[in-house]
Amino acid sequence: MLSIIVDEPHSMAVRKRPVPHPAPGEIRLRVRYAGICGSDLHIFHGKNPFAAYPRVIGHEFVGDIDAVGAGVGQHRIGERVVVDPVISCGECHACRIGRRNVCSRLQVIGVHRDGGFSEYTCVPACNAYAVPAGLPAPGAAVIEPFAVAANITHRTGVLCEDIALIYGAGPIGLNLLQVLKRVHGIRAFITDHVDERLALARQCGADADEVINTSREAIEPALAKRGAASGPTLIYDAVCHPSILEEAVRIAAPAGRIGILGLSATPSAIPQQELTRKELTLYASRLNCGMFPTVIDWISRGLIDPGRIVTHRMDFRDVAEAFELAERNPSESCKILLDFGEAA
Ligand SMILES: [Zn+2]
Ligand SMILES: [Zn+2]
């Protein structure tokens, strides 16, 4: 079989390896599609502090179970599944209080152990969830980044009177938008510098006056013009730049909540006064904590369409070109999927 391996930062190859055998409790997957995520690019560039090399990357993938290890029912062979990349110990404090995505011994598939950029891969059977009937495989590959969006909205909570602001119309921001608009039905503004991304936001459910191009309009007058002068009550930073958090703290309404997803090591200059005066709450969110069933339920009920953000499907052997496209210009692509083809 062929796998995409990052041998060390800036060095990636498509290489032949033996097909793995599922260990007890594992399933083997014939991967069909795998999504390229910003964190895959970070591992490639040596900017993910959690990654060890060499590594088969990829943590957003869908495929068909073709073998099972001891203790896993044979009936699962042939099942089309998506994989939750979070593997936790079940024993540490975080695990015991139901926060296993921040397990002290966390293993993320595609980061700490080999992932889905491979024709075949083995994962724990309990991490593999059946794809809803009728959902095409490309959309299923986007369930993982939807679980990331679902996790942060679960962390912040969403109230029917909330006015939300999402910074950044990339894959996570657009998925968040679908969750806020289509699952919760609230008013949700979304910002970006790229008109093509804001056009995608319209397709993901934003009203015409909810998209804000912040290269042309400053955020505060833009919100005031749209009837939200008192500030958003719920803010998500899907840009993950320290300056965004500073702005979010400044413009949030009193009693507002702010969700952050970034892994930047650069400090933010946030005045305590702003947090205390308005009694703001910051929620950090990492990966997802058991949100796959929630997302699959939303899809089954027709509330969200995960395929909306997919702009490209490319042969996995062209991964270098796909990475180049993902990084070159955000107006050209949003979610790029690697196509691993059908089983021979
Ligand atoms: Zn990701
Ligand atoms: Zn744990």
Q: Are 184 and 158 in contact (CB under 8 A)?
A: yes
- Rounded to whole angstroms, the Cα distance separating 48 from 58 reads 13
Ligand 1 geometric centre to CA of 148 (Å): 8
Ligand 2 geometric centre to CA of 147 (Å): 20
Question: Closest-lying ligand to the alpha carbon of 111?
Answer: 1
Q: What is the DSSP string of 258-311?
A: EEE-----SPP---HHHHHHHT-EEEE--S-SS-HHHHHHHHHTTS--GGGGEE
Write the pLDDT tens digit of every residue in 221-257.
999 999 999 999 999 999 988 899 999 999 999 999 9
Ligand 1 geometric centre to CA of 338 (Å): 14
**Strands 11-16 and 2-8, how do they pair?**
antiparallel
- Rounded to whole angstroms, the Cα distance separating 222 from 209 reads 10
Write out the two tokens for 25: 């409790």
- Rounded to whole angstroms, the Cα distance separating 201 from 187 reads 13
Ligand 1 geometric centre to CA of 145 (Å): 6
Ion ligand 2, residue ranges at CB < 5 A: 88-89, 92, 95, 103
Beta strand spans in the chain (E) = 2-8, 11-16, 26-35, 55-56, 61-68, 80-83, 86-87, 107-108, 120-124, 128-130, 163-167, 187-192, 211-213, 234-237, 257-260, 281-284, 310-315, 335-339
pLDDT at 116: 98
Question: Closest-lying ligand to the alpha carbon of 103?
Answer: 2
Beta strand spans in 9-105 (E) = 11-16, 26-35, 55-56, 61-68, 80-83, 86-87
Question: Closest-lying ligand to the alpha carbon of 151?
Answer: 1
Residues of the chain with pLDDT under 50: none
Q: Which residue ranges form the domains of the chain, and what is each CATH number?
A: 2-130+305-339 (3.90.180.10), 146-284 (3.40.50.720)
Ligand 1 geometric centre to CA of 135 (Å): 20
Ligand 2 geometric centre to CA of 107 (Å): 10
- Rounded to whole angstroms, the Cα distance separating 251 from 274 reads 10
- Rounded to whole angstroms, the Cα distance separating 333 from 327 reads 9
pLDDT at 344: 67
Ligand 2 geometric centre to CA of 236 (Å): 27
Question: Closest-lying ligand to the alpha carbon of 60?
Answer: 1
Count of residues making up the chain:
344
User: Tokens 């947090």 belong to which residue?
Assistant: 275
Ligand 2 geometric centre to CA of 63 (Å): 27
- Rounded to whole angstroms, the Cα distance separating 247 from 221 reads 14
Ligand 1 geometric centre to CA of 195 (Å): 23
Write the pLDDT tens digit of every residue in 193-210.
999 999 999 999 999 999
